């Protein structure tokens, strides 16, 4: 019997209490999934941050902590967490992100807002250029960023991407390092932020990097709110240097009613809906990592503590 502690909020338990055991049975794993297991008996922890578990020291036989989230910036720094930590890379979340990002890139590319907003019944045909004339840059080429880059390249956009370490993606111009970031930002019309949040990426979009971007650029952020220096972005929007920002994530959520983003004419706010983890497909990844742990195989999506993701 493999003992799996489920440590997350009540609504998460209701989502996963049946699908994780079902996914494990598909892999012939005999699993006991529970919320109140003896610490010394726990083999794996399925985890989302919660007040009931902040100290991992007693789990001396735990082989891995399996996050329910793709982002682990609030988990990885915990000094008591010495067990391997795995991010959740869920096929359902990935597909949802591709659809959301593609939709908003096309919205800005086609100028859809301009055509549906007029109230004066003006007739001003201004067809958009073809996708091959539009430069889209994605900061962050992990599983989500790479999937979005491939989808946009498939539509014919000029797609570039930037990541901390060098990557190769067919149909995508890949950059890395400080000079690569400069080049990626300097040659974009639409910028998509899908970086993990680390000390190195916090406020990566700031007064200096915004100034590198061409005048009239658009920013789309479904990644992490703290990737953007909010004051710097608002200033760039007010000055007309950035033509629009579509933001799905924020430093404080829900976004306070008095936040200037709500009222800015060049900002679209969406309520953190870019993508959602799907319990059925997420459970399959959790079960696969348990199988790998039992077989002595490398875990999927193991977090590098030195990088924070």
- Torsion over CA: 250, 268, 149, 285 (sign): positive
Residue 220 has pLDDT above 70, yes or no: yes
Beta-strand runs (E) in 37-133: 44-47, 64-67, 85-86
**pLDDT classification of 118: cutoffs 50, 70, 90:** low
Residue 29's pLDDT band (boundaries 50, 70, 90)? very high
Q: Quote the pLDDT of residue 116.
A: 82
Which residues, listed in sequence order, are joined to residue 31 by a DSSP beta bridge? 2
User: What would the mean pLDDT of 48-56 be, rounded to a whole number?
Assistant: 96
What is the reported pLDDT for 219? 99
Per-residue pLDDT reduced to its tens digit, 168-213: 999 999 999 999 999 999 999 999 999 999 999 999 999 999 999 9
Cα 152 from Cα 113, distance rounded (Å)? 20
- pLDDT tens for residues 237-267? 999 999 999 999 999 999 999 999 999 999 9
Q: What is the pLDDT of residues 126-137, one digit of tens each?
A: 889 999 999 999
Instruction: Name the residues annotated as catalytic.
Output: 224, 272
**Cα–Cα nearest to 244, from 221, 211, 227:** 221
């Amino acid at each position: 019997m493999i003992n799996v502690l489920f440590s997350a909020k009540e609504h998460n338990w209701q989502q996963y209490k049946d699908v994780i055991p079902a996914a494990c049975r598909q892999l012939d794993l005999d699993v006991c999934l529970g919320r109140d297991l003896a610490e010394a008996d726990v083999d794996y922890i399925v985890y989302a941050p919660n007040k009931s578990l902040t100290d991992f020291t007693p789990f001396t036989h735990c082989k891995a902590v399996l996050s329910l989230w793709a982002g682990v910036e609030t988990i990885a720094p915990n000094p008591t967490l010495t067990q391997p930590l795995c991010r959740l890379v869920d096929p359902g979340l990935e597909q949802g992100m591709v659809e959301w990002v593609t939709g908003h890139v096309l919205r800005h590319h086609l100028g859809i807002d301009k055509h549906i907003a007029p109230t004066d019944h003006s007739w001003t045909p201004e067809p958009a250029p073809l996708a091959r004339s539009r430069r889209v840059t994605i900061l962050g080429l992990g599983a989500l960023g790479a999937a979005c880059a491939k989808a946009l390249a498939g539509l014919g956009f000029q797609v570039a991407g930037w990541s901390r370490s060098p990557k190769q993606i067919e149909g995508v111009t890949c950059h890395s390092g400080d000079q690569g970031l400069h080049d990626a930002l300097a040659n974009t019309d639409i910028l998509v932020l899908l970086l993990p949040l680390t000390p190195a990426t916090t406020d990566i979009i700031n007064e200096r990097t915004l100034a590198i971007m061409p005048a009239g650029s658009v920013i789309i952020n479904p990644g992490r709110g703290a990737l953007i220096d909010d004051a710097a972005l608002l200033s760039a929007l007010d000055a007309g240097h950035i033509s629009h920002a579509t933001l799905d994530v924020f430093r404080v959520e829900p976004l306070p009613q008095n936040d200037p983003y709500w009222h800015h004419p060049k900002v679209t706010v969406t309520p953190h809906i870019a993508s959602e983890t799907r319990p059925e497909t997420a459970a399959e990844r959790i079960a696969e990592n348990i199988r790998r742990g039992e077989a002595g195989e490398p875990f999927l999506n193991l977090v590098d503590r030195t990088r924070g993701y």
